[in-house]
Amino acid sequence: MEKDFDVIVVGGGLSGLSAAYTMADAGLEVLLLERGDYSGAKNVTGGRLYMNPVRDMFPDLWKKAPLERYIAHEEVSIMDKERSITVRYDGSELAQEPYQSYSILRGKFDKNFAKMTEKKGVSIVTKSRVDDLIIENGKVEGVRAGGEELTSNMVIACDGVLSLLAEKAGLRKPGVAKDHAVGFKEIIELDRTVIEDRFNLEGDEGAARLYMGEVTRGKFGGGFLYTNKESISLGIVVGIKDLTEEPFVQAPDLLDAFKQRPEVACLIKGGQTSEYSAHVIPEGGYNSFSKLYGEGILIAGDAAGFSMNIGVTVRGMEYAMATGYYAAQAAIKAKEADNYSAAGLAVYEKLLNDSFVMKDFKNFKDAPHALDNPRFFNRYPQLAGDVMRDLYEMPNGPKARIYPTIMKYIKFSEVFAFLKDFGGVRKI
Amino acid sequence: MSEQMGLKAKLGLDVFKHDKEPHIKIRPGMEKDARLKKAILVCPAGLYSENAQGEVEFTIDGCLECGTCRIACGIEVLEWNYPNSGCGVQFRFG
């Protein structure tokens, strides 16, 4: 039977748009369904996009893309209760073209990407929630949305981190707390000039700041700040499992406390919060992946778990775009061979294995385990703070020698834990 | 120090489109389930609370559709779907 479309893409976020955009270039008939009012309406980033891995996959996309600021100033702060230590990385190296990363806002970026995807000939239908897959003889043959049946040779599920479609296709089980974090953030509007003055930015330069330690009460995660053109993205990412464990704290309280820290309050002073958003992040990495393809279906982006936290960098969007791109390549090959079975679509996994995507995830497969260690978010920030205090504090009376003072903080028994923790970090 | 903005006020800044039915429901009989209590801690919109009877109560107004409750509590205690087409939160910045 003749199908309505070659491919139906479910979800108009970065992986879905990347897939549709790439397939349209190859002349496939593609329908993209997005449940929000527009692409980006249901999406959230921290966030920044790293350009190098995906720049060449979408050569026409960038010229008019609504990017915010290129990140030329990186900072990471270790926060203890009443103090913090910051490392800054900047200089001319990060201010050179092509810039390696930009802050972005998904409401703008995805909307523009959708417009460009539509121009390539993809039919995009917004306000369309997909309710189910059409499965015949074990193979996906289309979707059900709003009481209608839409048929296609195959479906690419880009329906986000929960991927209810991958569950319906039997390719994955519901996500579990230990493999996921939740991010929530405020958009705080400030005048362009105020942002540039406060963060020492020249023109379209931007700053990225990460905060770890007390900001999550020692739980796995951290705080983040990105400068946009006329706003600041300020938020928290915290492991969901850690949130359900002691010390108990309600997630929104972490962000309120973060905003009140003097180190942060001075940066957002006078700003107007204009949006509050939240999103789940898959952080289980390689060891938590489920099946990426089945009969007539491919899974890409967050839906397949492609997001990675390796401490100072947290990445998801490049993987979403790249997996969408490779899913499209697999679909193009499937159409050439007229074979949409799991065997025909297995090339997707091979393409990913040969690309930076799986190489990254294999390289960093132990990172979630090595970093999921309360001492990194609790004990070490405190220790670092104690050391700084002893370096800088001048007592009323003689100052103690520095080395013995520092050593007194580290109990003999802790040395082994210390070696083990940083031994784990070598795997990253 | 500037006045902290309450969670309700923060959620009031977002654009929400009303749905005819809540897209998340506590499964009947699960109101006191220990798994459900996790939602009180994890929900970034603070939509879950415990009443005097020890039951978890929930309001859908202000749901950011992040899915944290589904992951923390599980689908045995929560019936979870996305809002109907074109309903729910519509992020302008995201």
Secondary structure class of A338 (helix, strand, coil): coil
Asked whether residue A79 is assigned to any structural domain, the reply reads no
- Mean pLDDT computed over B18-38: 97
> Given the structure tokens 């923390």, which residue do they identify?
B72
Which has the closest alpha carbon to A67: A49, A42, A40, A53? A49
- Mean pLDDT computed over B30-38: 98
Q: What is the pLDDT of residue A424?
A: 77
Q: Distances from the Cα of A43 to the Cαs of A17, A35, A306, A366, in angstroms?
A: 13, 11, 15, 28
Q: Which domain holds residue A51?
A: 5-68+104-173+290-354
> Which residues 6+ apart lie within 8 Å of A91 measured at CB?
none
B-chain residue closest to A66, CA distance: B93
Which has the closest alpha carbon to A104: A259, A278, A233? A233
Q: Mark yes or no for CB contact A277/B67 under 8 Å.
A: no
For an interface test with A, give the residue of B17, B41, B93 to mutate (most A CBs within 10 A): B93
* Residues A21 and A144 occupy one common structural domain: yes
Strands A30-33 and A5-10: parallel
Report, as ranges of residue numbers, the positions in chain A whose pLDDT lies below 50: none
Which has the closest alpha carbon to A157: A339, A35, A335? A35
The answer to whether the CB of A107 falls within 8 A of the CB of B93 is yes
* Residues A415 and A320 occupy one common structural domain: no
Q: Mark yes or no for CB contact B13/A274 under 8 Å.
A: yes
Is the CB of residue B66 less than 8 Å away from at least one CB of chain A? yes
Is the CB of residue B43 less than 8 Å away from at least one CB of chain A? yes
Q: What is the pLDDT of residue B26?
A: 98
Cα torsion through A350, A322, A72, A184, rounded to 10: -110
* Residues A375 and A350 occupy one common structural domain: no
The dihedrals phi and psi of B79, each to the nearest 5 degrees, come to -95, 115
- Give yes or no for a cis peptide into B28 (omega within 30° of 0): no
* Residues A149 and A62 occupy one common structural domain: yes
DSSP 8-state class, residue A47: S
* Residues A63 and A166 occupy one common structural domain: yes
The alpha-carbon gap from B58 to the nearest alpha carbon of chain A, in Å, equals 15
Q: What is the pLDDT of residue A374?
A: 81
CA–CA gap between residue A405 and residue A391 (Å, rounded): 9
Is the predicted pLDDT of residue B1 greater than 70, yes or no?
no
Asked whether residue A84 is assigned to any structural domain, the reply reads no
Q: What is the pLDDT of residue B2?
A: 47
The alpha-carbon gap from A126 to the nearest alpha carbon of chain B, in Å, equals 7
Which has the closest alpha carbon to A42: B8, B66, B59? B66
Q: Mark yes or no for CB contact B94/A182 under 8 Å.
A: no
CATH number of the domain where residue A221 is located: 3.30.9.90
Q: Mark yes or no for CB contact B91/A107 under 8 Å.
A: yes
Domain ranges of chain B: 7-89
* Residues A35 and A113 occupy one common structural domain: yes
B-chain CB neighbours of A43 within 8 Å are 91, 94
Which has the closest alpha carbon to A11: A119, A169, A125? A125
A-chain CB neighbours of B14 within 8 Å are 275-277
Domain boundary among A282, A311, A339: A282
* Residues A19 and A51 occupy one common structural domain: yes
Considering chain B, what percentage of its residues have pLDDT values greater than 70? 97
> Which residues 6+ apart lie within 8 Å of B56 measured at CB?
B26, B31, B32, B33, B36, B37, B39, B40, B48, B49, B50
B-chain CB neighbours of A176 within 8 Å are 71
Domain boundary among A228, A256, A282: A282
Per-residue model confidence as pLDDT tens digits over B58-92: 999 999 999 999 999 999 999 999 999 999 999 99
Q: Mark yes or no for CB contact A251/B17 under 8 Å.
A: no
* Residues A241 and A260 occupy one common structural domain: yes
The answer to whether the CB of A158 falls within 8 A of the CB of A10 is yes
Q: Mark yes or no for CB contact B93/A187 under 8 Å.
A: yes
Q: Mark yes or no for CB contact B70/A43 under 8 Å.
A: no
Per-residue model confidence as pLDDT tens digits over A266-294: 999 999 999 999 999 999 999 999 899 99
Is the CB of residue B20 less than 8 Å away from at least one CB of chain A? no
Multiple choice CATH, B7-89, 3.40.640.10, 3.30.70.20, 3.40.50.620, 3.30.70.370: 3.30.70.20
* Residues A52 and A147 occupy one common structural domain: yes
Is the CB of residue B23 less than 8 Å away from at least one CB of chain A? no
Residue contacts between A and B (CB atoms, under 8 Å): 147
The alpha-carbon gap from A413 to the nearest alpha carbon of chain B, in Å, equals 34
How many CA atoms are closer than 13 Å to the CA of A68, on its beta-carbon side? 33
The alpha-carbon gap from A145 to the nearest alpha carbon of chain B, in Å, equals 9
> Given the structure tokens 């230990």, which residue do they identify?
A178
Locate all alpha helices (DSSP H) within A82-226, ordered by sequence. Answer: 106-119, 164-168, 192-198
* Residues A294 and A273 occupy one common structural domain: no
Q: Which of A42, A107, A251 sits opposite B44 (nearest CB)?
A: A251
* Residues A253 and A388 occupy one common structural domain: no
Asked whether residue A76 is assigned to any structural domain, the reply reads no
Which has the closest alpha carbon to A116: A17, A215, A250? A17
A-chain CB neighbours of B89 within 8 Å are 41-42, 277
Q: Mark yes or no for CB contact B2/A126 under 8 Å.
A: no
- What the block records as the tokens of A361 is 């995830």
Is the CB of residue B93 less than 8 Å away from at least one CB of chain A? yes
The answer to whether the CB of B86 falls within 8 A of the CB of B54 is no
User: How many CB atoms within 10 Å of residue B30?
Assistant: 17
Is the CB of residue B10 less than 8 Å away from at least one CB of chain A? yes
Asked whether residue A82 is assigned to any structural domain, the reply reads no
Look at chain A and report how many structural domains it folds into.
3
Query: Interhelix angle for A347-354 vs A356-363, to 10°?
Result: 70
User: How many CB atoms within 10 Å of residue A396?
Assistant: 4
Full-model pTM = 0.95
Asked whether residue A361 is assigned to any structural domain, the reply reads no
Q: What is the pLDDT of residue B3?
A: 60
Domain boundary among A254, A282, A310: A282
Q: What is the pLDDT of residue A408?
A: 79
* Residues A258 and A329 occupy one common structural domain: no
Q: Distances from the Cα of A208 to the Cαs of A66, A87, A200, A219, in angstroms?
A: 18, 12, 12, 21
